[in-house]
A and B are shown apart, each in its own frame.
Chain A
Amino acid sequence: MSFFDYFRSQRKSTASVAKERLQIVVARERSTRGGPDYLPELQDEILKVIRRYVEVDQEAVQIQLDREGDCEVLELNITLPDRH
């Protein structure tokens, strides 16, 4: 790094922004991997049903499929907004 770079490096480097974005997107894509192909569609439809009653964002519904021995557990995690 050159002498002048010390004054320039206040901003976050684009490489570290790239790394953070990748870590988030890769983690999300891995969580639905290996499961049945209908999982994303299921997640989408559940989200639509919830939105008929409350306004929630895309991230509000998390679906995870865990395997425990012979049995598969579908875990649904729905975050509702705070009441005002």
Chain B
Amino acid sequence: MAKIVVVTSGKGGVGKTTTSAAVGAGLAKAGHRTVLVDFDVGLRNLDLIMGCERRVVYDFINVINGEASLNQALIRDKRVDNLFILAASQTRDKDALTDEGVERVLTELSKDFDYIICDSPAGIERGALLAMYFADEAIIVTNPEVSSVRDSDRVLGILASKTRRAANGEPPVREQLLLTRYSPQRVLKGEMLSVEDVKEILAIDLLGVIPESQAVLNASNAGVPVILEDESDAGQAYQDAVARFLGEERPHRFLQIEKKGLFGRLFGG
């Protein structure tokens, strides 16, 4: 039986797809059979971030409608063993994603995989609610910024009340915070909410902090999950987060700015 993990945030543009790609690649590298499922019907992007956009023949909706088998639709990653992608459809009909259809596909995937990563669309519409509904675990991607934190709190409310686990009276979905685009410099200047501030407001466990990094755009330009960029700060931060996700204890890095000399401290901003 696979563990179903939803990557969600409410707000758009905070790094859900980047995180799905990184976490999926990290889990697969650790030897777990992992499938990434894009729930953003109409606006698929996971295929681009994973660099497999030219290999999409069949998608999630095709499988739900019985137009293709799962084996036909699953795209095997060429860099990481054990990693597969199920692309979203480009159809504009959002109702194509049916409750029974999604449940059937996830159940079938559960037989073959250890982890199913559901990349949620932004907002709290159908696709986002369905991505959350079947989850065992949730990674809440949040930027240290007011609208993102508020939306994350909304999403936490939905995870607590409108999921299969809540409906069946099972133990709640495990929720973990991933703070992205973090800038220790701006936190020090009092211009950005600190990791402690966000933790205090949302009151959930911290999975990791990903620093604001040029590596993320470079990786998405190339269609490579940033976690595979071993030299980059963001890549290493994602590696730590995946290790923590798998139960390892690792100290949080990239929370402090590098030490400046005396001159820099006197005159630097």
Residues B190 and A26 in contact, CB atoms below 8 Å apart:
no
From A13-21, A43-51, A75-83, the one touching the partner chain is A13-21
How many residues on chain A are close to B (CB under 8 Å)? 21
Given the interface pairs A2-B269, A26-B153, the reply to whether A19 lies near B201 with Cβ below 8 Å is yes
Please name all residues of chain B whose beta carbon is closer than 8 Å to the beta carbon of A38 when the two chains form the complex: none
Interface of chain B, main secondary structure: helix
Please name all residues of chain B whose beta carbon is closer than 8 Å to the beta carbon of A29 when the two chains form the complex: 150, 153-154, 157
Residues A33 and B157 in contact, CB atoms below 8 Å apart:
yes
How many residues on chain B are close to A (CB under 8 Å)? 24
Residues A22 and B187 in contact, CB atoms below 8 Å apart:
no
Bound Cα distance from A5 to B193, whole angstroms: 18
A34 at the interface (CB under 8 A from B): yes
A7 at the interface (CB under 8 A from B): no
CB distance from B23 to the nearest CB of A (A): 26
Interface of chain A, main secondary structure: helix
B149 at the interface (CB under 8 A from A): yes
Residues B197 and A30 in contact, CB atoms below 8 Å apart:
no
Please name all residues of chain B whose beta carbon is closer than 8 Å to the beta carbon of A19 when the two chains form the complex: 193, 197, 201
B167 at the interface (CB under 8 A from A): no
Bound Cα distance from A67 to B189, whole angstroms: 44
Contact of A15 among B191, B266, B268 (CB under 8 A): B191
Bound Cα distance from A22 to B193, whole angstroms: 10
Top-4 shortest CB links A-B: A13-B190, A33-B157, A19-B197, A15-B190
Since A3-B266, A22-B146, A22-B150 are in contact, a sample of 10 more A-B pairs with Cβ atoms closer than 8 Å, ordered by chain A residue number, is A1-B188, A2-B269, A15-B187, A15-B193, A23-B201, A26-B149, A26-B150, A29-B150, A29-B157, A34-B157
